[in-house]
Structure 1
Amino acid sequence: MLNPIATIGDAQTLAQAIVNTIPEPFVVLDGQLRVLMASRSFYETFKVDPEQIRGSLLYALGDGQWDIPALRLLLETIIPERAAMDGFEVEHDFPNVGPRTMLLNARQVVYDDSSESTILLAFTDITTRRTIEREKEELLKQTEELLRQKQILFQEMQHRVANSLQIIASILLLKARAVTSEETRHHLQDAHQRVMSVAAVQQHLHATDGIDRIEVGSYLSKLCGSLASSMIGDSRPIAIKVVADEGEIESSEAVSVGLIVTELLINAIKYAFPIDKAGAQVVVTYGIEGADWKLTVADNGVGRRTDQAVPTTGGLGTAVVKALAEQLGARIDVVSGDAGMNISITRAPSAPNVALAN
């Protein structure tokens, strides 16, 4: 079979054809960094005339505008030492093209029967990619700054809410002390206690510093401890115990759970022990099973009585608990007897409608 490449001219023709098939700009340099040949893509990308650059020093192209320090470093220092280099990034305002970011791949070719060598140099334009990356980086910085500002505003809002609740609670307490009607005083004190319960929930959520998910055991323990200190103190022998599975809940859900616990705990402290009882206690239990959970507030007090204001009369406390349970998609079950009262809030896919008795 005859070899179709019979002469040097034929080999050069084939080599030029191969170079022209390369889609990225490509140039072949001799040992003195003069252009031997270049691809059609090179001419089109950099808008140069083939007749004007062939045999020219690479640095002299574009009236010396290709004399790029990074390119000199690659061709005169790195390639002689390593013979090859991939992904060498160069940013330059190329003549007739404008600012571009190029990745250069270079190979030095050394011949067995000659002291001469050539360098193959390929260009990949990554200007658009780098622009997108910089835009993403800038967008990320802006997003982080917005989140920082949001966090500052959130903390400021929490601070103002806490102050406002304290002011409202103080006013209610002052009014309760000033009125002569026992019934009015009772309602004002009840309103004061509920404002304080909201403040307690808000205070414990504020301690999480805006975290989206909250460890439920620690949250309920701190909340119940705070309520016990404010309502029981050392005057009454009632123990408050919290038993919770390890797990986290959304901060938005924690608000509703905290308010339910607060309301039920207030009711238990108020009504379960009309007289001091040895071993009196209220147990708050939170059990988790997958996406479902069950909250229970149980006391060992007198149980439901006919003269009890909450929950049998459907007072404000009952309405609050019902509304919050409905919001959570949970049901309410009440068991009461001589051993005390047990109120459970259960959220499960099969949970029926809220069933808290009036």
Structure 2
Amino acid sequence: MQQFGGPGDVKRLALAIVETIAEPFVVLDSHLRLVAANGTFFETFEIDPARSHGVCLFDLDERQWDIPALRQRLAAAMPDHPQISAFEFDRDVASLGRRTLLMSARTVDYGGSSAPNTLLAFRDVTEARRAESEKQALLERTEELLAQQRVLFQEMQHRVANSLQIIASILMLKARAVTSEESRRHLEDAHQRVMSVATVQNYLHMTEGVDEIEVSAYLKKLCDGLAKSIIMDSRPIVIDLHATESTIPSSNAVSIGLIVTELVINAIKYAFPVSTGSERVLVSYETHDTDWRLVVADNGVGRSVTNEPAEPGASLGSLIIEALAKQLDARVEIASSDKGMSVTIAHATFHSDASTAA
């Protein structure tokens, strides 16, 4: 290492180091008088170097540095020579206006050979703080807008629920009033579909704001609602549910719920023309990775001897199921025999060795 010839060399080295520091930097004596500072300090705060040497920090720039919080912080730190990290304060700069500064300080004690020096470094964080403030204001505004949106959504949900109930009541009144058996059947079908939409809508309203819906609880709620609204005491049809523990996106929940409702209603209406006391409808849902399969099966008489249309696309219910399955990128498979019928809605890539029987 190079040896210096004397104190003058050491002083020149120290001043060179100070000058290479990019941020405003100051060296003070034990009385907080300016011993040295880099050009960045003088330029940033518009201070005349010729009139600053030996001047107390708080007297510089027409006492612009005489800030009570800064004075107190330095006064508290000086006795024990601690290090100060990121002390934040505000001050006015003539050409820049109000600025927010972070100060770091360290007092160097030479062990009694000479008076200590205090080193100060300043960093302007005005723009960063302004950006943080704007971000916070934006977040608060966003929260306010989201709160308003939630209120509007709740109001809309309430209005939709009321409208569905009104429509269902009108359909039922019309069904009771008409004399044509075919018209009555169509009106009752429409009433059941409106009620199924209301059931789905009501459940999703209770889970508002949830991105993923738990399948088992969701389908149980639907099946229980269907059992109460459709199955009469004179027709003791059992609806069983087997569902793996999984979730579905709330965006898919409506379509799946409507499919289940439509298939269960069809099974109850067509599968059991004669009561045997052992009528059963099974709803099952299984998953494999991101794929899934929904099956609604019954132990009824099968399609061939029911009044249900033979072709999948021949009835309104089948058209609804096909359309909803297409939205879910799923395929529809129908199997029927004299031991019952099953309808499978499977995601396009789903494959499983498991079998589902009513």
Asked whether the 8 Å contact 1:245–1:288 carries over to 2, the reply is: yes
Q: Which residue of 2 aligns with 1:329?
A: 329
Cα distance in 2 for partners of 1:182, 1:133 equals: 70
2:292/2:350 contact within 8 Å kept: no
Partner of 1:245: 244
- Contact 2:81-2:109 at 8 Å conserved across structures: no
Deviates more, 1:323-332 or 1:311-320: 311-320
Query: 1:93 — aligned with what?
Result: 92
Report if aligned partners of 1:37, 1:54 keep a CA contact under 8 Å in 2. Answer: yes
Q: Report Cα offsets for 1:179-213 as digits up to 9, x if no partner.
A: 22222111111111111111111111111123121
Q: In 2 relative to 1, CA 344–265 (structure 1 residues): closer, same or farther, beyond 3 Å?
A: same
For 1:128 and 1:328, the matched residues in 2 are separated by 48
- What is the root-mean-square deviation in Å for CA atoms of aligned residues? 1.8
Aligned equivalents of 1:305 and 1:3: distance in 2? Answer: 107
Shift of 1:150: 1.6
CA contact under 8 A between 1:288 and 1:294: conserved in structure 2? yes
Matched residue of 2:186: which SS? helix
Superimposed CA distance per residue, residues 4-46 of structure 1 (whole angstroms, 9 cap, x where no aligned partner): 442x333322222211111010001111111111011101111
1:75 is aligned to 74
Q: How does 1:24-39 map to 2 (within 5 A)?
A: 24-39=23-38
Aligned-partner Cα distance in 1 for 2:4–2:127: 43
Report the equivalent of 2:48: 49
Q: Which stretch has the larger CA shift, 52-61 or 215-224?
A: 52-61
C-alpha change, 1:9 and 1:96, in structure 2 (3 Å) is farther
Runs of 5+ consecutive residues of structure 2 not aligned to the other structure: 352-358
Equivalent residues in 2 for 1:130-141, closer than 5 Å: 130-141=129-140
- Per the alignment, residue 209 of structure 2 pairs with 210
Contact in 1 for aligned 2:281/2:297 (Cα 8 Å) = yes
Checking the alignment, whether the CA contact within 8 Å between 1:334 and 1:344 is kept in structure 2 is yes
Shift of the 36–82 alpha-carbon distance from structure 1 to 2, 3 Å rule, reads closer
**Distance (whole Å) between structure 2 residues aligned to residue 257 and residue 287 of structure 1:** 13
Structure 2 counterpart of 1:40: 39
* Unpaired segments ≥5 residues, structure 1: 352-358
Cα deviation code 1:146-187 (max 9, x no counterpart): 222222111111111111111111111111111222221111
1:177 and 2:173 matched = no
Tell me the matched-pair count: 350
Which position in structure 1 is the counterpart of 2:355? none
Q: Which amino acid in 1 is paired with 2:349? A: P
- Secondary structure of 2:90's match? strand
Q: Partners of 2:309 and 2:54 in 1: how far apart?
A: 99
SS at match of 1:282: strand
Q: Which amino acid aligns with 1:65?
A: Q
Which residue matches 2:316? 316
**Residue number in structure 1 paired with 2:143:** 144
Residue matched to 2:356: none
Q: Bigger CA drift: 204-213 or 33-42?
A: 204-213
Which amino acid in 1 is paired with 2:249? E
Which whole-Å CA distance do the structure 2 matches of 1:200 and 1:109 have between them? 75
Check conservation: 2:102, 2:122, Cα contact below 8 A.
yes
Shift of residue 278, structure 1, vs aligned partner:
2.1
TM-score normalised by the chain length of structure 1:
0.93
What percentage of aligned pairs have identical amino acids? Answer: 55
Mapped pair 1:124 → 2:110 = no
- Quick one: structure 1 residues 311 and 99, their matched pair in 2 at CA, closer, same or farther if it must change by over 3 Å? farther
Alignment partners' CA distance in 2, 1:61 and 1:121: 14
- Which residue is equivalent to 2:221? 222
Q: 2:304, 2:310 within 8 Å by CA — same for their partners in 1?
A: no
Distance, in Å, in 1 between the alignment partners of 2:50 and 2:234 is 103
Query: Cα deviation per residue 1:316-358 (whole Å; 9 max; x = unaligned)?
Result: 101000100111111111111121111110003379xxxxxxx
Deviation at 1:264, TM superposition (A): 0.2
CA distance in 2, matches of 1:210, 1:117: 62
User: What is the CA–CA distance in structure 2 between the aligned matches of 1:288 and 1:18, rounded to whole Å?
Assistant: 67
